[in-house]
Amino acid sequence: MSGASASGGIWTAFSYCVQQIRNYDYHHYLCLLELPPNMRKAAFALHAFNVETARAMDIASDPKIGLMRLLWWREAIDKIFANKLIEHPTAQALSSVIYEYKINKGWLTRSIEARINDAKREVIEIPETIEELEWYAKDTVSTILYMTLQAGAAAVNFLTYLLKWQPNTGCRLTREAKWRFAWTLASVCDAVFEMASVANSHLHKACELAGTVPEEAHPVLLPAVPAQVLLDSLRRAHFDVYDPRLARGILGIPPLWY
């Protein structure tokens, strides 16, 4: 492949990553646009990887198929670090930033292993606790942010990712409610309230530590804005994640407004 063709292929791969985040994680898409250009490329590739693995179980017609997707990504990571070509745009973009920014393989492995372990639990419907969900968030979302930090940004841990995915997936939070409560809307709201309380605690801790972050890394803390607005919105919706106002935007307000 010529240099021009290779360059065009990478450009196409990164364009695909940007579109994936715009389609499936719009709040973070807006935040990533505010990063300095030298950090933006790595952030988009890493977050696109997160979108791919986070949606693996949600788009699968059978949990076992979703698990197979995640196992493919684990193999893809091994191939990337073995300098093997993978015909997948997100994997190609990820490979580019791994070598440019010397991204640690351990963080990527930790993220995909957490997804795989959670997928296995979903297949056999093992109940989870709030503490296990905290570790899950730390091993998935936080690792993506740590790698962004490694590429020149900073990291914040948000459990609210789990809350945001819930209305469309009926996944981990629903399984928590099914095992801990009778299956009613009120019980789901109780489970959401418990998770939101933990997430709010993490967010306040992150805000307290924000002053210790170097000024050039401040843009990566922007997800605190939609995280706080989402928690406030859940409170005003009485922690009903199926409230139609949440589906139209935060409290019915398009994300660009805030």
**For position 38, what pLDDT does the model report?**
77
Q: Which CATH superfamily is domain 3-257 in?
A: Farnesyl Diphosphate Synthase (1.10.600.10)
Average pLDDT over residues 51-69: 92
pLDDT higher for 224 or 3? 224
Identify the residue with better confidence: 111 or 180: 111
Q: What pTM was estimated for this model as a whole?
A: 0.76
- Whether the pLDDT of residue 180 is over 50: the answer is no
Question: Does the pLDDT at position 73 exceed 90?
Answer: yes
Give the model's confidence band at 22: pLDDT under 50 very low, under 70 low, under 90 confident, else very high.
very high
pLDDT tens-digit map of 205-226 = 878 877 777 777 777 778 888 8
Q: Residue 97, Cβ neighbours under 10 Å: how many?
A: 21
pLDDT of residue 251: 60
Confidence of residue 35 (pLDDT cuts 50, 70, 90): confident
77: CB partners within 8 A, 6+ apart: 105, 108, 109, 112
For the chain, the distance separating the N- and C-terminal CA atoms, rounded to the nearest angstrom, is 45
Confidence band, pLDDT 50/70/90 cuts, at residue 168: very low
Rounded mean pLDDT, 114-122: 86
Please state, in angstroms and as integers, the Cα–Cα distance from residue 29 to each residue in 25, 39, 115, following that order. Answer: 6, 14, 22
The Cα 102–Cα 72 span in angstroms is: 22
Q: What is d(CA 100, CA 65) in angstroms, rounded to the nearest whole number?
A: 33
Tokens 């698990």 belong to: 67
Q: Is the pLDDT reported for residue 53 higher than 60?
A: yes
- Point out which residues pair with 253 in neighbouring strands: 250
Taking each helix axis from N to C terminus, what angle separates 105-124 and 130-137, rounded to the nearest 10 degrees?
A: 150
Q: Which of 1-5, 77-81, 209-213, 254-258 has the highest mean pLDDT?
A: 77-81
What is the per-residue pLDDT across 38-48, written as a single tens digit (0 to 9) for each? 788 999 999 99
Domain boundaries, the chain: 3-257
3-state secondary structure of 125: coil
Instruction: Give 123's pLDDT tier (boundaries 50, 70, 90).
Output: low
Give the CA distances from residue 131 to residues 128, 198, 199, in Å, rounded to whole numbers and listed in that order. Answer: 8, 9, 12
**pLDDT one-digit tens code per residue, 152-167:** 643 334 344 444 444 4
Q: Please name which of 41, 39, 35, 40 lies closest in space to residue 219, comparing C-alpha atoms.
A: 35
* Confidence (pLDDT) at 81: 96
pLDDT tens for each residue of 217-250: 777 778 888 888 888 888 888 888 888 877 766 5
pLDDT score recorded for residue 75: 97
